Structure 1
């Protein structure tokens, strides 16, 4: 028998199931494990209360397997009251930001190598970046090429010079970061 105000489409049980609650708690515990593995300076950047920070510091110091596991569960318990979405978002920014920065660095290194190997690469770069100082770039490219030739002639074990090589990279970095 149904009440008059209860509709057939409405569920009788509107709370999350025990299994769903358990999955959420395990996810928070796993997040606590990831937070414990972070360096302390990054942990401080997360918006956590002092009690949670102290529990994380303690977990980082524990070397015993079982003691560390229990402390991580305690950190997970404390994280239940924290803004876990903000923590996940910040950790994702660190992870993906790092990938983007690495890709950007590789792009600049590749561009530097192309400039040293191919004269047409400078023309293409100037087409993309008309504000670039052509004289400075030409001087740095010539210097880096000369440096590479001198380094090739050095006997094995002697330190290579990389002053012009690095200066060319810095000029490219400055040029690309202007945008």
Structure 2
């Protein structure tokens, strides 16, 4: 009877096979993310040598079967490493990338509005939100960008308008992408 109690407490102490497999797959997914990183960011993570070598080896592989086995090896090596700091760093890099993409989309929407028929409305909104904006310069750049587009010329003013918007609209405005843009 005491033996049964000891077995039950052992079973409860260790995670189920399903839970262990989920954890292993999660580690393998982190490993896949590591393989997609560039060398500079890999070095920044400060991975153990064996894990770093395995990741670099996986980057060189092109055969599906070999790559799959290498990913399993990386997952196995990840068990010996504290994955939480790596996961946090990957999340940070992923979020900053998403934020940067959202900002670029926001700037592109402003540029499109400035080049559209509703230019005056867009300029007045931009002037209200960002009082330091040089509205006259923006109007001229938008007008020239439209002319370039119609004449099939290189998009010099189109790019200049985007760069001007980058200067005016700060990186962390707190404005959601699409806010103020109908």
1:42 is aligned to 2:41 = yes
Q: Which residue does the alignment assign to 2:115?
A: 116
Q: Which residue does the alignment assign to 1:139?
A: 140
Normalising by structure 1, what TM-score?
A: 0.75
The structure with the largest alpha-carbon Rg is: 1
Report Cα offsets for 1:79-130 as digits up to 9, x if no partner.
1222311222222233333232222212111111211222221111101111
Q: Aligned Cα RMSD in Å?
A: 2.6
Contact persistence 2:55–2:74 (CA under 8 A)? yes
Distance in 2 between residues matched to 1:31 and 1:21, nearest whole Å: 15
Q: CA deviation at 1:74?
A: 2.1
Q: Which runs of 5+ in 1 are unaligned?
A: 3-10, 152-159
Distance in 1 between residues matched to 2:64 and 2:114, nearest whole Å: 52
1:17 is aligned to 2:18 = no
- Where do 4+ consecutive residues of structure 1 move more than 6 Å? none
DSSP-derived class of the 1:81 partner: coil
1:31 is aligned to 2:30 = yes
Distance in 1 between residues matched to 2:146 and 2:68, nearest whole Å: 55
Going from structure 1 to structure 2, the CA distance change for 1:177 and 1:12 (only over 3 Å counts) comes to same
Distance in 1 between residues matched to 2:161 and 2:142, nearest whole Å: 7
Normalising by structure 2, what TM-score?
A: 0.74
Q: Which residue does the alignment assign to 1:7?
A: none
Contact persistence 2:61–2:67 (CA under 8 A)? yes
